[in-house]
A and B are shown apart, each in its own frame.
Chain A
């Protein structure tokens, strides 16, 4: 994985020292809250409902065991013994004291971590496919490019004060696990007819108040030209993006208002001008230096069906569930990619205790070359596990409460912090997720229902990705009471779509019951177990669901 060079290390150390000084000046009264607030936000420190919240960047979701142990140490020493993994492949600590944050940042810097670019109107932490470098069919490891973009954007003063925050995601395969169509810029590594590597460039996707699926800006961009082309997009946006209305400031609104053809024309013109000016593109030697950090591990093929695995499969039911849903094929025969569920039945999605972090760090060292990934679905991944190690790994995960075999099933729910933590929330998200997962606790039933992604946000900011949930729940304030609006048919993959609202909102009890009704309706109406929930919704439309959810009204 990528290791800081001396320049990165010095930069992060300098930022940490600056922040220690800023906190001291805030506490001494030299800085007012108005002066201090933008400084703390630049270092990922928010003030939430109950306390400060520190958001730590995990670039493209890649961690090593040493870093995970440090996060455990921070959770234990400075917080309440847990952290929360977010849909942005970050981790949030919910309870740090302001006076401790400089020390936390110092400890993070020891393991090459920081909280830069996790807040504010800058290019945010770049996200990538969480299976990057581990699965077959990848054109290139997308993290190479995510890291190149990170380096380019971190130090780019021109892009520190954009009209609004700006999110970029990269995937190396055509099957999209990084939700690239829901980012300001989505990059899909691809090849042209001659076999040259480049990117399909998508622009203008996003969630929030005005959800939009990104449009294709360019079918093929030679990879060597990535940075100058991104520069052209950002310059165009910086010039034309609205600064008068924060709800209209995202690039998706620009694309919507002036049209993709016009944006393309402007970007291409800017790109040409940049090309004449100077070369902003990365020299090949530098690309190769960064790429070397992501060289695939040297794994020798191993047996696909080792005896220990065959025996565990025959005798151990939870192992069977887990193997079926949480274990995915690896690019090297005899290896597997393992999803580690942070969604125990009745648990808070994405939460992990210090002890669990340490247990997983040990398991990663033992079974996955010390590597861990964070997925945008608020789960973790061990990317390189020999199949013969799977029974032992499963035992280790089970002992730490991390072996729930529910990946992409109905209890694998994405939920934002909601009103239990977030100052912007209308309604709680986590308790709804907990109650839904308790209703569907039986893993046999979950397996029978099949892939079903439920996503919950506590307000229209959509951190819980409700717009793209197969079932989405959005918390709204209905005359001072928490209520939930339900959408169906959203998806975040290469066929991304925004879910459609099924009808009037429900109260909390009603919303949990409604999810069960929706699932029952699907089970009754599906053509067979092979027709997934999403396929059934696409075939049936909303009518049968509406009829069951609102029996008093004639289904529209």
Chain B
């Protein structure tokens, strides 16, 4: 099985988050817990369901990731890359601040 991490949106503010090795939810995909064995991915998903019940996150689902040249985790699908990195465009407010 390809390498997977678990992503969701945080309930309180909607932020994109990933399940980390210590069981907390973090905003950087690079800090996520990646698994490839089917039973381990199933454990990620079970942790996601528990986090929904605990009102931490909504809509958790596993995504495929790969390791970049520097070993950092990068989502495979471009949709998930945009989710991980934010809109691919510069925001007008950033431009004004620049």
Contact = CB atoms under 8 A, between A and B. Distances in A.
A525 interface: no
B75 to A, nearest CB: 12
A431 B88 contact: yes
Interface stretch (B18-26, B35-43, B52-60, B66-74): B52-60
- Which of B59, B79, B83, B88 is the most central at the interface, judged by chain A CB atoms within 10 Å of its CB? B79
Contact of A47 (B59, B79, B88): B59
A353 B79 CA distance: 26
Interface in B52-98: 52, 55, 58-59, 77-79, 82-83, 86-89, 91-93, 96
A49 interface: yes
B83 A49 contact: yes
A321 to B, nearest CB: 22
Interface residues of A, number: 36
Interface in A20-69: 26-27, 29, 33, 47-52
Given A27-B12, A27-B55, A50 B86 contact: yes
A51 B96 contact: no
A431 B89 contact: yes
Given A80-B91, A97-B12, A49 B52 contact: no
A80 B15 CA distance: 13
A249 interface: no
B54 to A, nearest CB: 8
A353 B97 CA distance: 11
A434 B91 CA distance: 12
Contacts of A351: 91-92
A81 interface: yes
A353 B52 CA distance: 35
Given A33-B52, A419-B82, A431-B88, A81 B11 contact: no
B73 to A, nearest CB: 18
A47 B59 CA distance: 10
A220 interface: no
A348 B13 contact: no
A421 interface: yes
Given A33-B58, A353-B96, A434 B89 contact: yes
The size class of the interface chain B forms with chain A is 20 to 34
B82 A98 contact: no
A353 B93 CA distance: 6
Given A29-B55, A33-B52, A50-B14, A348 B9 contact: no
Is chain A's binding surface mostly helix, strand, loop or mixed? mixed
A49 B13 contact: no
A420 interface: yes
A99 interface: yes
A411 B16 CA distance: 33
Nearest to A33: B58
A169 B13 CA distance: 34
- Which of A27, A33, A95 is the most central at the interface, judged by chain B CB atoms within 10 Å of its CB? A33
A27 B11 CA distance: 8
A178 B52 CA distance: 43
B93 A480 contact: no
Contacts of A33: 52, 58-59
Contact of A82 (B9, B88, B93): B93
A419 B92 CA distance: 17
A98 B88 CA distance: 24
A348 B59 contact: no
A140 interface: no
A47 B9 contact: yes
A421 B87 contact: yes
B82 A49 contact: yes
Interface string B25-50: 00000000000000000000000000
A351 B89 CA distance: 12
Nearest to A420: B87
Contact of B82 (A95, A348, A420): A420
Nearest to B95: A347
Contacts of A419: 78-79, 82
Nearest to B9: A47
B82 to A, nearest CB: 6
Interface of B: 9, 11-16, 52, 55, 58-59, 77-79, 82-83, 86-89, 91-93, 96
Given A98-B14, A355-B96, 4 more contacts: A29-B55, A33-B59, A49-B82, A82-B91
* Across the A-B interface, the 3 shortest Cβ-Cβ residue pairs: A97-B13, A51-B14, A52-B14
14 contacts: A47-B9, A49-B83, A50-B15, A50-B16, A51-B16, A82-B92, A348-B92, A352-B92, A353-B93, A353-B96, A419-B78, A421-B87, A430-B89, A481-B78
